[in-house]
Amino acid sequence: MTEDIRASADASAVYVYAVCRTEERPDLTGPAGVTGESPLRALPLGPGLTAVVQTVRAADFTDEAWQARLADEPELERYARAHHDVVCAMAARHPTVPLPLATLYHDEERARAALDKEARRFHAALERTAHHSEWGVKVYVADAPAREAPEAAPQRPAPGAGRAYLDRKRNLRDRRERHRTDGLHIAEVVDADVSGLATASRRLPSHGPRVPDERRVQVLNATYLVAEDRAAELARLAQSLRERTGAQVELSGPWVPYSFVGEV
């Protein structure tokens, strides 16, 4: 949806944060957005829809400027946090569809035209996510041993030592395979139970170890769309799953439902 921004030093662009469902002018107090040079403002769209936008310097969002920002982690985090703060403030007041970071148009007319074309999708996303929040669930199990504990080496090979060594290797491989299968089973149990409570769910790629000596393996990384009035039930379910499975079940949220608004 973002346009290719090419601009002279004094040109401006329209940065779009979110689309809200409201018949009245949305409350825009609070976050300043990605720039302090202009205020947030409302851009009326079709019936019931309003975009939250801000005028920014186009030179700050050219492809070259954005590539440089991607290489500057603190600066990128500042922009991402500023964008997220606006989205969260709007979502706390109105049903809201968040737009991706750095969604820009050359002017309000082009922004309105592009957003109006997506009105049906915005309404569908708002119906799906109204009075819901996004929750993350990560499940970890203890890592299986990578190898046997070292043994003192005998002075000379005992009879049958070669076969015993192969048996130990095979047993270790079998234990690791059972451990992996058990972990995947736990992941399916957790996902099935949380999905039964949620309105929608998405499985995400599992992450590797965060530190070199981490002694646990992630077997589930998922996000769930949960009705706001079922948040306490979700917390109780997470505790029950910890007790039943023995796994580490990490619950995070509530978040604005970025993962469930579709491609907008």
Share of the chain above pLDDT 90, in %: 64
Q: Confidence class of residue 177 from pLDDT cuts 50, 70 and 90?
A: low
* pLDDT, tens digit (0-9, with 9 covering 90-100), for 12-39: 999 999 999 988 888 899 999 999 999 9
At residue 8, does pLDDT exceed 90? Answer: no
Q: Return the higher-pLDDT residue of 162 and 49.
A: 49
pTM of the model: 0.78
Closest CA to 82 of 111, 40, 43: 40
Report the pLDDT value the prediction gives residue 183, as an integer from 0 to 100: 86
Q: Say if residues 122 and 49 touch (Cβ distance below 8 Å).
A: yes
CATH 3.30.70 domain extents, the chain: 132-149+157-260
Average pLDDT, rounded, for the chain: 86
* pLDDT, tens digit (0-9, with 9 covering 90-100), for 88-146: 999 999 999 999 999 999 999 999 999 999 999 999 999 999 999 999 999 999 876 55
Share of the chain above pLDDT 70, in %: 79
Fold for domain 132-149+157-260? Alpha-Beta Plaits (3.30.70)
